Chains A and B, each alone.
Chain A
Amino acid sequence: MKMTKIYEGSHQWIMFGRDEGKPSNIIDTNQYVVRTANRCLLLDPGGAELFAPMMAAVLHHAPVDQITDLFASHQDPDVISSLGLWDQALTNAKLHAPAFWEGFLRHYSCESIEYVGIPDNGGTIKLESVELQLIPAHYLHSSANFHVYDPQAKILMTGDVGAAIEGPDTPVFVENFSAHVEKMRHWHQRIMPSNQAKRVWIERVRNLDIDILAPQHGRMFKGDDVKRFLDWFDALQVGTAV
């Protein structure tokens, strides 16, 4: 699994993805890790198929007993179907996930991990001295959905927003925004159901100071490409399958 450090300061952000051993018929995903001195948070830790390579990759950065927090932006299997395995591996961990999905996510098995339900208006995750904001992103695409914003690192992890489905050798950052647009169009039009939800989210995140926009699939956006993405998404009609 490819590991890319995307922020290094008082804490670290590491992006994991492009797993070469992944079966070709499952979607490629990006996982993110926020590492502080003694704790480790996994953002959208991935599907059950990905558990072993993901755990192996995390062990380059943290021991198992310091993996203390998981975050699931929503309930999809590529986001969190590995929960039952993390549940057996971790002895002292919390899952931060939409309160709305608790009864659903527990189908993956969540007995030793504490389920911390995120209310609809969002919240925070405190990781030692780092405070991460949980930004509501409902209906983008899931009806109960959150993104994670780190005001220190200026990174916004955006789940399925900004995603594109590409091959395993794809670079981790967008290099040519204009060329990248066509790789995102159908995905966003098809998976995002609501123009109103999209507008509300864009208004909300335009107020954030963002250096990197980090989706769960495909390439990340940095610098001016963040604003380019928001402008493009703002103008896009979504929910087009009906």
Chain B
Amino acid sequence: MTNQTKSQFIAVASITSELSAVMVVAKEISLAAANAKAIAFRAGDKAKGFQPITDFINELAKETIELVTNINIYALVLYRLTVNEFQKTVAYNKFELAAKLAGDAVYAKSMQEPVEHAKLSMQDCQRQFKRDVSQLLGQLEAVMHHARAARVIAANSRIEASQAGEYLQSLQAVAESVDKAAHTIHDNVQRCRIALSIYRNS
């Protein structure tokens, strides 16, 4: 296995690992939203501005979970494609070697067709992998967008929390947890993007 093939396997495998952490954090945001809603309800008019924010947070968490679920399915397809590409590359190299070793064998020429076919299959896989990576990067960008939106919501939450009197601390804690979660999502997804970007279709 070449170093590039190893890196490709590692890059694809790391997506699933990074995204499972994103999934945990997105579920934490969802919980924070439920918690914030309960506090805002108790606070009544003092947290009036906070109430619609909790709905936003919840919606954002749900959408992130949905996006990550889809990306995970896509990552599995990408992993299978990587395995397939590896098998096709091994076959092509072995077929070429067989043709070379056959030298002046009576039927050496009959190896030309399998060699050509294996080469085309390998190139097909390589092209498809690059195409799929480009699409996956697009989906990861959508998750990044959600993370950025969550940070804006966290900033708004802090402002609204400051108006909430004795509920200030509780609501600020919610804003902090949303901000922290948004950071984590951003960092994990960014690592996925960096790992994959070298394989992007140019």
Contacts and interface: CB of A to CB of B under 8 A. Distances in A.
Q: How large is the interface on B (under 10, 10 to 19, 20 to 34, 35 or more residues)?
A: 20 to 34
B94 A64 contact: no
Contact of A88 (B103, B111, B118): B118
Given A56-B101, A89-B95, A64 B106 contact: no
Interface stretch (A47-55, A222-230, A234-242): A47-55
B114 A59 contact: no
B1 interface: no
Contacts of B90: 85
Given A63-B107, A64-B107, A52 B114 contact: no
Contact of A64 (B91, B97, B113): B113
Interface in B92-122: 94-95, 97-103, 105-108, 110-111, 113-114, 117-118, 121
A109 interface: yes
A55 B91 CA distance: 12
Nearest to A21: B101
Contact of B108 (A59, A88, A109): A59
B117 to A, nearest CB: 8
Given A52-B94, A59-B106, A88 B101 contact: no
Contacts of A64: 107, 110-111, 113-114
Interface residues of A, number: 18
B173 to A, nearest CB: 52
A84 interface: yes
Contacts, number: 67
Interface in A17-61: 48, 51-53, 55-56, 59-61
Contacts of A48: 94
Interface in A56-94: 56, 59-65, 84-85, 88-89
Nearest to B110: A63
Contacts of B113: 64
Contacts of A59: 98, 102, 105-108, 110-111
17 contacts: A48-B94, A51-B98, A52-B94, A52-B98, A53-B98, A55-B94, A56-B100, A56-B103, A59-B102, A60-B105, A64-B107, A64-B111, A65-B110, A84-B91, A88-B114, A88-B117, A88-B121
Given A59-B105, A63-B110, A88-B121, 18 more contacts: A51-B98, A53-B101, A55-B102, A55-B111, A56-B102, A56-B103, A56-B108, A59-B98, A59-B108, A59-B111, A60-B105, A60-B106, A61-B106, A85-B90, A85-B94, A88-B91, A88-B114, A89-B118
